[in-house]
């Protein structure tokens, strides 16, 4: 018999997301959708790049504090707020591609 995988549920932009325990918030965002964390000053969608705390592209608000998603392990009940407006998140696509 395969052991059950422990999960945690966090809330991303008001939406509950269940992921495996031990996952980073950046991985949870990718697993739950498009992985977008914020927008640049010009309004372009940004996502984790380095995965090791250097580029700062994964900044999100976690329980009201600005943190790096790639350096933060998911906890049950954690509230994650990205900087991407909901309509932009729903229509996100890479430049040069069709949605």
Taking CB under 6 A as the criterion, the residue among 8, 57, 60, 78 binding ligand FES is 57
Q: Which of 51, 61, 81, 83 binds ligand FES (CB under 6 A)?
A: 51
Of 17 and 24, the one with the shorter C-beta distance to ligand FES is: 24
Say whether residue 84 binds ligand FES (CB under 6 A). Answer: no
Sequence-distant (6+) residues with CB within 8 A of 30 are 47, 48
Nearer to ligand FES, 16 or 75 (CB): 75
Structure tokens that stand for 57 in this block: 């592209």
Polymer length in residues for the chain = 99
Residues 46, 31: Cα–Cα separation, whole Å? 16
Distance (Å, rounded) from C-alpha 46 to C-alpha 25?
15
Name which position in 9, 18, 20, 53 contacts ligand FES (CB under 6 A).
53
Interface residue list for ligand FES (CB under 6 A): 48-51, 53-58, 68, 70
């Amino acid at each position: 018999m395969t052991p059950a995988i422990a999960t945690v549920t966090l809330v991303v932009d008001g939406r509950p997301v269940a992921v495996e325990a031990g996952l980073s918030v950046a991985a949870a965002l990718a697993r739950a959708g498009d992985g977008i964390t914020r927008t640049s000053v010009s309004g372009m969608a940004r996502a984790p790049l380095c995965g090791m705390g250097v580029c700062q592209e994964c900044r999100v608000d976690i329980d009201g504090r600005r943190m790096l998603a790639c350096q933060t392990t998911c906890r049950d009940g954690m509230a994650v707020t990205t900087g991407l407006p909901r309509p932009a998140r729903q229509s996100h696509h890479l430049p040069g591609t069709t949605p």
